[in-house]
């Protein structure tokens, strides 16, 4: 058990998030098997794996919507394994946006602030700031059902940002969006990472996405952590045959067929 360390230097180098020996068993099935890894502050970590490998379960345990069977989640040196989701200083963005359909964009973004007893003016100001950041100022009085998928996802992002979380989790946020929307959303997320120094944990099954956005990639296979490293290192030294085939071969195939079309 890692307790709070007082040495200033150690605090500076302390990882933002430590996952220790995390296991989860559902109906006699091992969904997560002894997962351990660290996340550095301000880093963009992708969790890559096929459907059913446990990455969404891992995400839900990190944010506290689920409890592990064994193991710990430690943030800034404090054990938060059983802390409530709202007290962890984390935000989450879902694949199907999960917006409040009966409120406008503005309503969605400022709602959590109003609940937390911010003054009306403060709440509105902060909400307007975030709406402008995600580029939806001219749509702020619209309801979600008159927005496109990409716009709705921006609202979801603004909604978490407004509470100033230091870690944002993304659960396959782009799966239902087209390529050009994905590209502009990628830019937005990277911008948030840069400007606010937010730590990003990004779950996906899309190899191309992880390689273009991540500082490090964590490859998962059937409840196990197979490899966690920078994209370059994964390409240079894939840990096993699985990483090679799932990650690299698929990627190579995509690139080579594109290259052929482009005449290279």
Candidates 76, 79, 111, 251: give the one binding other proteins (CB under 8 A): 111
Q: Rounded to a whole number, what is the largest CA-CA distance in the chain?
A: 59
Pick from 2, 10, 70, 98 the residue near other proteins by CB under 8 A. Answer: 98
* All residues at 6 or more sequence positions from 248 whose CB lies less than 8 Å from its CB, including other chains: 234, 235, 238
CA distance 257 to 97: 33
- Listed ranges 20-28, 41-49, 71-79, 105-113: which one lies at the site for other proteins (CB under 8 A): 105-113
Compute the least distance from the CB of residue 203 to other proteins, in Å: 14
Contact between 86 and other proteins per CB under 8 A = yes
Neighbours of 152 (CB within 10 A): 23
Measured CA to CA, the distance from residue 130 to residue 76 in angstroms comes to 26
Candidates 21, 36, 102, 129: give the one binding other proteins (CB under 8 A). Answer: 102
Task: Please give the order of strands across the beta sheet that includes 167-171.
Answer: 90-93, 167-171, 199-204, 44-48, 216-221, 224-229
- Cβ(107)–Cβ(100) under 8 Å? yes
What is the smallest separation between the CB atom of 107 and other proteins, expressed in angstroms? 8
Rounded to 5 degrees, what are φ and ψ at 235? -65, -45
Candidates 20-28, 29-37, 83-91, 210-218; binding stretch for other proteins (CB under 8 A) = 83-91
Measured between its terminal Cα atoms, the distance across the chain in Å is: 54
User: In whole angstroms, how close is the CB of 157 to other proteins at the nearest point?
Assistant: 13
Q: Which of 38, 35, 37, 36 is nearest to 15 (CA)?
A: 38
The residue among 77 and 107 lying less far from other proteins, judged by its C-beta, is 107
The site map against other proteins for 140-159 (x = CB under 8 A) is: -x-----------------x
Q: Per CB under 8 A, which region of 59-67, 183-191, 245-253, 255-263 contacts other proteins?
A: 59-67
Q: Should residue 94 be labelled a site residue for other proteins when binding is judged by CB under 8 A?
A: yes
Query: Is residue 65 within the footprint of other proteins (CB under 8 A)?
Result: yes
Quick one: which of 31, 45, 58, 63 contacts other proteins (CB under 8 A)?
63
Q: How far apart are CA 154 and CA 159, in angstroms?
A: 8
Residues that bind other proteins (CB under 8 A): 60, 63-65, 84-87, 90-92, 94, 96-103, 107, 111-112, 115-116, 141, 159-160, 163
């Amino acid at each position: 058990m890692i307790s709070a360390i007082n040495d200033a230097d150690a605090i500076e180098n302390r990882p933002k998030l430590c996952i220790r020996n995390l296991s989860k068993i559902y109906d006699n099935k091992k969904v997560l098997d002894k997962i351990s890894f660290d996340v550095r502050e301000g880093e963009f970590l992708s969790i890559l794996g096929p459907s059913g490998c446990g990455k969404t379960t891992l995400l839900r345990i990190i944010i506290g919507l689920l409890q592990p069977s064994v193991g710990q989640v430690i943030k800034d040196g404090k054990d938060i394994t059983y802390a409530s989701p709202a007290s962890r200083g984390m935000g989450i963005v879902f694949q199907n946006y999960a917006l409040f359909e009966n409120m406008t964009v503005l309503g969605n973004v400022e709602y959590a602030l109003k609940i937390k007893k911010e003054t009306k003016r403060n709440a509105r100001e902060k909400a307007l700031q975030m709406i402008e950041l995600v580029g939806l100022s001219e749509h702020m009085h619209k309801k979600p059902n008159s927005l496109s998928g990409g716009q709705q996802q921006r609202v979801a992002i603004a909604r978490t940002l407004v509470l100033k979380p230091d870690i944002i989790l993304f659960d396959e946020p782009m799966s239902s969006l087209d390529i050009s929307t994905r590209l502009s959303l990628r830019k937005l997320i990277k911008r948030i990472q840069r400007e606010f120094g937010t730590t990003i944990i990004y779950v996906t099954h899309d190899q191309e996405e992880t390689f273009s956005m991540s500082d490090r990639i964590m490859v998962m296979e059937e409840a196990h952590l197979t490899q966690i490293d920078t994209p370059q290192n994964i390409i240079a030294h894939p840990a096993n045959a699985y990483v090679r085939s799932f990650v690299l071969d698929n990627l190579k195939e995509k690139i080579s067929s594109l290259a052929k079309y482009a005449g290279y």
